Amino acid sequence: MLGQGLFAADMLKTHGIFRSNMVLQRDKPITIWGWAPAGSEVKISFGKQSAIAKAGGEKGRWQVTFESQPANSQGQELLVKAGEEVIRMENILIGDVWVMNGQSNMAFALKAVYQNALESAQAHLPLMRHIRINSYAESEHVETDLEEKDLNGNDPDKNWKVVTPEVALDMGAIGYVFGSRLHRALQIPIGIIDNSRGGASLESLVPRHKFKEHPMAAEYLAWVDKRYAEFDWDEALKKPLEKWEKTVADQRKKGVAEDNLPPKPTRETLRSWNVPGRSPSDAASCYNGMFGVFKGLNIKGVAFHQGFNNAMMNTSCKPKLYRILMKLMVDGWREDFNDPQLPVAIIGLCAGGKAQTRLNFEELGFSTAAYIRESQRLGLADAKDVTNTAFIPSYDQKIPQLHTKKKKELGLRSARWALKTIYGMDDVVWDTAKLVSATPEDGKILLTFDKPVLPDDFGSELEGFSLADKSGVHYLAHAEHVQVRDKKERNKQILVFSPLVKEPVSVRYAWARAPMGNLKVDGVPWQPLHSFRTDAIDFTPEVAHQDPDGKTKNSEAIKALKAQAAEALKARNEQGG
């Protein structure tokens, strides 16, 4: 499964990421590469710089690196020649290139979210550019090039898009809002590469070479490779071929020309979900064909939004493995894109489904999503780079849907983080807070934070807390700020208590898929305090992907925990808690 690449080149070409209207990364060396007949001399010019490369090796790969350039809003030409063959690309800018990675909530289009008309009406942005890498570009192999079929959906124009109101509506909403705010604030070209893949599990988004670095990840990868090696291609193609034969026969009877008949299904075109190792659920598949495929291109940073497919109430929810893979993914990006301080924003798993309320608090507090959010935050923290990374909570943007329409807010939060932290715009408001301590105190738990945390209306009851004693069963709890005289210390301490929990040992906050929880850092509306817990109780005994009895073990544990949560809700209602 390693080392998939091109056959020997029989004509000149550049890597598929290089196209007219693109943005190249400023202040970093500019590397251009491609293929040509082996031994060919390839002449490359970009703007005022030029170089000559030799197409080497069996595949005829060539590469040149030009000196870095500052941001430049004037379009430049990239010209590549080999013998009589010429490739010309126009209107290329120099600015910052950001990658939007994850699954469908990152890809979710601007046209489908709230405020889409107002946003798109302002999208006359000739210096902002966008390209999409299509779903089904994922691969069981480590790919080296992007084909035209892999780009910009069904649009026949495979160049990078100059952002207009029409283009903006088809962009991922988060990417558009994020990129447009950076462009307007920085007044430089911004390029957005959207390579998010609907339905992708985190496993598929981690660079393949990183799995070997942790025994749990390595064992999982070996299982994926074994399934691929044992895969029965003939059996898998049987039904698609039968369907194709029937379709072709029917169309021939109707007089459809042979050139217009659908192509015969092959191993290469078999739907990826059906192929071990190619599936968006399996190790490195989406990274292989949609992200690592253009490594060598310098980028500014990555924004990432994912989690749903790892938070299902079955064996897909593996918080411990998720945390491990999150760190491996970030480290792998930084290695492959040659930037040990590559900026990374992890937008937490979004809220969706039924909202948690006082009427269902304990039942909905049994939540896979809360564990995955925690693993996202802690896995990123394991990368040990608070300067260039951020975990951006999104749980407060609640809508009872798989794809919540409140995406603008997440793009704005990400832009605020980038402008303040990465670009040094100190006047832009963005901050986070962390729990410093949780101390039992006279039947309550005293929480201390490093920043003030309070509702953004500065007066509401504090919501979203639960308490448990040594039984581990959490109940809805009351919370109030500790009153202090020192203005600098106000709203940094909270007492949590419940008449149902006489001797509390642990506390949770905003612990559900669409949780209660109204605390904001400094009381600023776009700065929700991240969800947290002080216990170490596992979601369920974590079962490995490769455990043949995993589903049975998991379902039995989930059933018991659901019953426990229902009993807790019933007990609170009976006692008027």
| Cβ(118)–Cβ(319) below 8 Å | no
Task: State the Cα–Cα distance between residues 35 and 519, nearest whole angstrom.
Answer: 55
Helix or strand run (H / E) with residue 30: strand 30-35
Q: What is the pLDDT of residue 355?
A: 94
pLDDT on residue 353: 87
Residues of the chain with CATH 3.40.50.1110: 95-231+281-431
d(CA 371, CA 320): 9
Helix (H, G, I), strand (E, B) or coil at 263: coil
Please report the pLDDT score of residue 556 as a whole number. 84
Query: What are phi and psi for residue 108, nearest 5 degrees?
Result: -50, 125
564 CB-near residues (< 8 Å, 6+ apart): 366, 473
Distance, CA of 345 to CA of 392 (rounded, Å): 7
Report strand pairing: 493-497 vs 506-509. Answer: unpaired
Residue 275's nearest CA partner among 104, 141, 132, 102 is 141
- State residue 5's pLDDT score: 47
Environment class of residue 7 by beta-carbon count within 10 Å: exposed (0-12), middle (13-18) or buried (19+)?
A: exposed
How many angstroms separate the CA atoms of 507 and 477, rounded?
A: 9
**CATH number belonging to domain 435-539:** 2.60.40
- For the chain (length 577 residues), average pLDDT per consecutive 10? 56 97 98 97 97 95 98 98 97 98 95 96 98 96 96 96 98 98 98 97 98 98 97 95 95 94 93 92 97 98 96 85 98 98 97 93 95 98 97 91 86 98 98 97 97 92 97 97 94 97 98 97 97 94 86 84 94 86
3-state SS assignment for residue 252: helix
pLDDT of residue 550: 82
Task: Give CA–CA dist 203/344, Å, rounded.
Answer: 18
- What CA–CA distances, in Å, run from 16 to 35, 56, 301? 11, 19, 20
Distance CA 396, CA 522 (A): 16
Beta pairing, strands 190-194 & 85-102: parallel
Residue 205 is given by DSSP the state G
DSSP 94-137: EEEEEEEEESHHHH-BGGGSTTHHHHHHT--EEEEEEEEBPTT-
d(CA 140, CA 161) in angstroms, rounded, equals 29
Tokens of 10: 């029989």
- The two structure tokens encoding residue 91: 């209107």
- Number of residues written out for the chain: 577
> Rounded to whole angstroms, how far apart are CA atoms 190 and 177?
12
Cα 560 to its chain centre, rounded Å, is 32
Amino acid identity, residue 236?
A: A
Fold of the CATH domain 95-231+281-431: Rossmann fold (3.40.50)
All CATH 2.60.40 domain ranges of the chain, comma separated, are 435-539
